[in-house]
Amino acid sequence: MRKAYEVKLADDERQRLVAFTTKGIAAARELRRARMLLLADAGQPDAVVATAVGCCANTVARVRRRCAEAGLEAALRDRPRPGGAPLLDGKGEAYLVALACTEPPAGAATWTMQLLADRLVALDVVERISDETVRRTLKKTTSSPGSGRNGASPR
């Protein structure tokens, strides 16, 4: 059975992949894809390649297709991932840091991440935000509630 997307590597590409898989440090995914392409170039069927590199035959078919359609580099590398849009822009981050530096609400000894998240929602800074996003934002800006301001002791 003939494959719809055959991998035909040039000599320099093959040498580059062999060197890539045997020398230096590289991401595990890229090494696995390089090994897939080398085996596919040698004429091995997808099932054999999948068993040899420890993945499924559909993964081998996808890598083979990307190599045929977009080239060797595209087959080796991950595609860019969009990620989620940040919930807090620069102004929102500044507001969060300023809020964390104020006195905590009545009945609370210190600001907690959940209290800060709830306050940001109540003040319509954001529509919704998790306590984990608040924690990561404060960590990124090297600010944290109770970091020595307003008489609170550092943790």
Look at residue 24 and tell me if it is in a domain: yes
The residue behind tokens 């068993």 is: 51
Q: What is the percentage of the chain residues whose pLDDT exceeds 70?
A: 90
Look at residue 153 and tell me if it is in a domain: no
Look at residue 84 and tell me if it is in a domain: no
Let me know whether 69 and 20 are in one domain: yes
Amino acid 145: pLDDT: 58
Closest CA to 88 of 75, 98, 78: 98
Look at residue 64 and tell me if it is in a domain: yes
Let me know whether 50 and 107 are in one domain: no
20 alpha carbon, distance to own chain's centre: 23
Let me know whether 60 and 17 are in one domain: yes
DSSP three-state, residue 120: helix
Which positions ≥6 away from 134 have C-beta within 8 Å? 96, 113, 116, 117, 120
Let me know whether 23 and 68 are in one domain: yes
Look at residue 116 and tell me if it is in a domain: yes
Biggest CA–CA distance in the chain, Å, is: 76
What DSSP element (H or E) covers 110?
none
Read off the pTM: 0.57
Of the candidates 51, 76, 101, which is a domain's last residue? 76
Of the candidates 48, 76, 104, which is a domain's last residue? 76
Domain tally for the chain?
2
Backbone phi and psi for residue 57, each to the nearest 5 degrees, phi listed first: -65, -30
In the predicted model, what is the mean pLDDT of the chain?
88
Look at residue 39 and tell me if it is in a domain: yes
Q: Please give the Cα distance from 120 to 88 (Å, whole number).
A: 10
Domain span at residue 97 reads 90-144
| pLDDT tens sequence across 91-146 | 999 999 999 999 999 999 999 999 999 999 999 999 999 999 999 999 988 755 55
Let me know whether 96 and 118 are in one domain: yes
Look at residue 110 and tell me if it is in a domain: yes
